[in-house]
Amino acid sequence: MPKLLLATMLLSALASAAQAGSPRQDQTWLNNISLVANDALSEAAADQHGAGVVYVPMSVDSHGRTHVRPPERVCGDAEIGRRAVRALASIQGAPRPPADLTDQPILLRVVFTVPDVNDGDTEAVLKRCN
């Protein structure tokens, strides 16, 4: 079974939006959406083969609906980007963001690895993708 690591969540809009809201509340929401995204991506990775990194832009509206755009970058297995987009778009009832983060873009960096792939091969793919 593949191992999926949701390595990083980058907020491209947080710098300007955080002035209006509480940094602690924003970070709590980011932690929660990270867990929800990781669950969805882990399910999608159940039959994943290969390794790679994909950067997927998304936002969450005030009703907890995710809005996912095509990946900005895919490195490694090309199917990873399609799987990541489908998984993130399938999230139902995501945690509602604080007002300052509602509909703000979040860039997810998703790292897929498969345990049965030679560790050296996986490391080479991930090094090339950073």
Average the pLDDT over each of 14-23, 39-48, 108-117 and give the range with the smallest value.
14-23
Average the pLDDT over each of 11-15, 47-51, 88-92, 106-110 and give the range with the smallest value.
11-15
pLDDT given for residue 47 in this prediction: 65
- Distance between CA atoms of residues 103 and 97, nearest Å: 8
- Distance between CA atoms of residues 22 and 28, nearest Å: 10
* Per-residue pLDDT tens digits for 78-109: 777 888 888 888 888 889 998 888 998 888 88
Q: Where are the domains of the chain?
A: 3-129
pLDDT given for residue 75 in this prediction: 85
Phi-psi region at 14: left, alpha or beta (left = phi > 0; alpha = psi -120 to 50): alpha
pTM of the model: 0.71
Contact 100, 26 (CB under 8 A): yes
pLDDT given for residue 46 in this prediction: 66
Q: Given this structure, which CATH class describes domain 3-129? A: alpha beta
- Distance between CA atoms of residues 61 and 47, nearest Å: 30
Report which DSSP code applies to 115.
T
pLDDT band at 45 (very low <50, low <70, confident <90, very high): low
- Distance between CA atoms of residues 89 and 69, nearest Å: 9
Q: What is the Cα 96 distance to its own chain's centre?
A: 16
Residue with tokens 């709590």: 28
* Per-residue pLDDT tens digits for 115-124: 555 556 667 7
List the alpha helices (DSSP H) in the chain: 14-17, 23-44, 79-89, 119-129
pLDDT given for residue 17 in this prediction: 44
